[in-house]
Amino acid sequence: MLKQDLTTRWERIRRIRTPIVAAVSGYALGGGCELAMVCDIIVASETAQFGQPEVNLGIIPGAGGTQRLTRTVGKYVAMDLILTGRRIKADEAKAIGLVAHVYPAASWLDDAKALARTIAEKPPVAIRLVTEAIDLALNSNLDAGLEFERKAFYLLFATEDKKEGVDAFVNKRKPTFTGR
């Protein structure tokens, strides 16, 4: 399979409107790290390792690694990781902002699934708009991001889920969202 075919498939993953949690245990090096970065949230087992070691083979990341890693951790950390090809452990990945949570090796997958369930219980339209707004923050300028955020904020006031969320809050009960 050509790398272009693979990255085209990864772009389809990135366009899925449902938030995707990448749960990493073991190695996420090169393409594995790039695939994790296509997802919305990365969580890791304490045994996970991340890196972009392509330079050690005389090549560079070719599936978004230079772009996504830089936007996630900043220029200087991305330069360090990509130019040296070094691996980092889960705790360092969390410290630099690549990983949202590091879970114990014994429970990492259950913990990742619990996080996904927590997100799935939220109002679907709001979750979709949050995901779009945050993606826009990374791929656009501040003015465009703020404009989208304001429009999305006011749009959500017209949803049944907003009414349900407020009613549940006022009446101290768990909301039941319908996606409308």
pLDDT of residue 6: 66
The one-letter amino acid code at 168 reads A
DSSP 72-85: HH-HHHHHHHHHH-
Residue 10: pLDDT band by 50, 70, 90 thresholds? confident
Beta strands in the chain (DSSP E): 21-24, 27-29, 41-45, 49-51, 87-89, 101-103
User: Which element (helix H / strand E) includes 128?
Assistant: helix 124-139
Q: Rounded to whole angstroms, how far apart are CA atoms 77 and 55?
A: 15
Q: Are the C-beta atoms of residues 30 and 52 closer than 8 Å to each other?
A: yes
Consecutive H or E run containing 95: helix 90-95
CATH, domain range 3-119: 3.90.226.10
The confidence score (pLDDT) of residue 62 equals 86
Task: List C-alpha distances in Å: 123 to 70, 111, 127, 180.
Answer: 31, 21, 6, 8
Looking at residue 130, its pLDDT comes to: 93
pLDDT at residue 1 greater than cutoff 60:
no
What is the spatial distance between Cα 79 and Cα 97, in angstroms, rounded to a whole number? 15
Could you tell me how far CA 36 lies from the centroid of its own chain?
8
Identical fold at 3-119 and 121-170?
no
Query: pLDDT value at position 3?
Result: 54
Domain boundaries, the chain: 3-119, 121-170
Each residue of 93-136: pLDDT tens digit? 999 999 999 999 999 999 999 999 999 999 999 999 999 999 88
Report the alpha-carbon distance of residue 130 to residue 56 in Å, rounded. 38
The first and second tokens of residue 144, run together, are 């465009």
The CATH class that applies to domain 121-170 reads: mainly alpha
What average pLDDT does this structure show over 141-154? 90
